[in-house]
Amino acid sequence: MFKKTLAAVAVLGAFAGSAFAANVTMYGIIDTGLGYTSTDKGYGEDVNKFDMRSGQNSASRFGVKGEEDLGNGVKVGFSLENGFNSDDGQLATEGRLFDREALLYVGGDFGELGMGRQGELASGNGRYGLFGGKVSPFSTGWSNIAGHKYVMGAGFGRMDNTITYKTPTFAGFNLLAQYSFDKNVKKDDDANTTGVQHGREGSAETDRQYALGATFAAGDLYLAGIVTQTNKQSVDYEGKSLGEQDDPLTVSLGGNYNFGVAKLYVATQYFKDTGLAVEMIQTGKTGTFDGFGLSVGADVPAFGGTAKVLVGYMDAEDQTSAANDVQRYTFSVGYEYPLSKRTFVYGGAGYYMDSYDKGFDVGYDDKASVAAVNAGLVHKF
């Protein structure tokens, strides 16, 4: 730890030209393995893929974090976290150095206030994510091994220009409020936006999002609930109207309980006018959907490691075309085995199927599916 702290100070000093009095730590995860995926879209030939992959179990990352005690119970801290692909060395997100988190926070008896790029409350990302590994044995998802997000609508990403307030803990409860002035400053570069431009933060020229969350923790029990509303961009950067917009809404509930012999996880979400967290198999469409999803899973200690299982169901109605209504069924199993405190191996298999109420065209099946298997090695430093 001492060596890592000195190294982090040296690295930061190269950027800032000065030394830091705060406690600074470098850390990271490297996850590299092999994966096989077979996709049956319900038309044409199946698509099979076998390759080397990064971040199947835990996204490969590098980070620097630090905290300074200002006295009187007040502290200031930061987190700068970068995602990368360990199989080819590229940035996980083009054009972003700290795509996973770029956060500055201040905390004390009043609670904690954080500002910057950070995870949504309903995600498992960063300092303020309330879901992820807290509501699913597969955390945010093992690559194509279907995790809980496969049966949910939205809320599992990260946002720019975001402020989050977290109350002090009272009788096991915490309340959180989050607001993003502009969810994605790179939106213009996203092919899914068809070139729609946006401008001033906090205005109708951008997508803004607010959320309220609550958690309760006592002994072996953890519960979380989040309500999230997005105000979609309604005018372009010149003030021209983009027409009527459907503002997505999600209500997410989840938690876990450790029984000792097994740890049980539950997650559910109602979503309205959202996309899907994982696109439809047959069309690659995320669309605009109303619906709900539910997943139930467990961790079970076994043979010195941890066995995992999860099942899920989603029912989503497309608001633009009844032909795209879909029910999704998922099943996942996995296993992790520690080689040391910092290194473990993993393997898993998953299957999910989309069942459509109506065919898309003549000759299209009313079902499509994906089966996946992966295995790899994770080292934490």
- Is residue 189 over pLDDT 90? no
Which stretches within the chain are classed as H helix?
2-16
Distance of alpha carbon 101 from alpha carbon 130, whole angstroms: 15
- Is residue 270 over pLDDT 60? yes
Name the pLDDT band for 245 (thresholds 50, 70, 90): confident
Distance of alpha carbon 9 from alpha carbon 26, whole angstroms: 9
By 3-state DSSP, what share of the chain in percent is helix, strand and coil, each rounded to 5? Answer: 10, 55, 40
Distance of alpha carbon 180 from alpha carbon 161, whole angstroms: 6
- Is residue 203 over pLDDT 60? yes
- Is residue 168 over pLDDT 60? yes
Mean pLDDT of the 283-299 span: 92
Domains of the chain: 2-380 (2.40.160.10)
Q: What is the pLDDT of residues 43-63, one digit of tens each?
A: 888 999 999 999 999 999 999
- Is residue 5 over pLDDT 60? no
Which helix (H) or strand (E) element contains residue 273? Answer: strand 263-274
Name the pLDDT band for 6 (thresholds 50, 70, 90): very low
Q: 325, 318 in Cβ contact below 8 A?
A: yes
Q: Of the candidates 118, 188, 126, which has an alpha carbon nearest to the alpha carbon of residue 160?
A: 118
Count of Cβ atoms closer than 10 Å to residue 99 Cβ: 19
Mean pLDDT of the 97-115 span: 97
Predicted local confidence at residue 334, as pLDDT: 97
Q: 56, 143 in Cβ contact below 8 A?
A: yes
- Is residue 319 over pLDDT 90? no
Predicted local confidence at residue 363, as pLDDT: 60
**What's the angle, vertex CA 126, arms to CA 122 and CA 130, rounded to 5?**
30
Name the pLDDT band for 254 (thresholds 50, 70, 90): very high
* Across 37-46, 87-96, 233-242, 293-302, least confident range: 233-242
Q: 134, 254 in Cβ contact below 8 A?
A: yes
Tokens standing for residue 288: 């605009």
Where is pLDDT greater, at 72 or 21?
Answer: 72
pTM flag (> 0.85): yes
Name the pLDDT band for 14 (thresholds 50, 70, 90): very low
Distance of alpha carbon 377 from alpha carbon 328, whole angstroms: 30
Mean pLDDT of the 354-372 span: 80
Q: What is the pLDDT of residues 71-103, one digit of tens each?
A: 999 999 999 999 999 999 999 998 899 999 999
Where is pLDDT greater, at 365 or 220?
Answer: 220
Q: 380, 353 in Cβ contact below 8 A?
A: no
Q: Of the candidates 166, 239, 165, 169, which has an alpha carbon nearest to the alpha carbon of residue 197?
A: 239
- Is residue 10 over pLDDT 90? no
Predicted local confidence at residue 196, as pLDDT: 56
- Is residue 248 over pLDDT 80? yes
Mean pLDDT of the chain: 89
**What's the angle, vertex CA 360, arms to CA 357 and CA 362, rounded to 5?**
115
Predicted local confidence at residue 147, as pLDDT: 87
Count of Cβ atoms closer than 10 Å to residue 83 Cβ: 21
Phi, psi of 145, rounded to the nearest 5 degrees: -80, 115
Mean pLDDT of the 17-25 span: 63
- Is residue 22 over pLDDT 90? no
Mean pLDDT of the 333-337 span: 98
Q: Of the candidates 374, 356, 373, 357, which has an alpha carbon nearest to the alpha carbon of residue 41?
A: 356
The fraction of the chain above a pLDDT of 70, given in percent, is 89
Paired with 91 in beta bridges are: 84
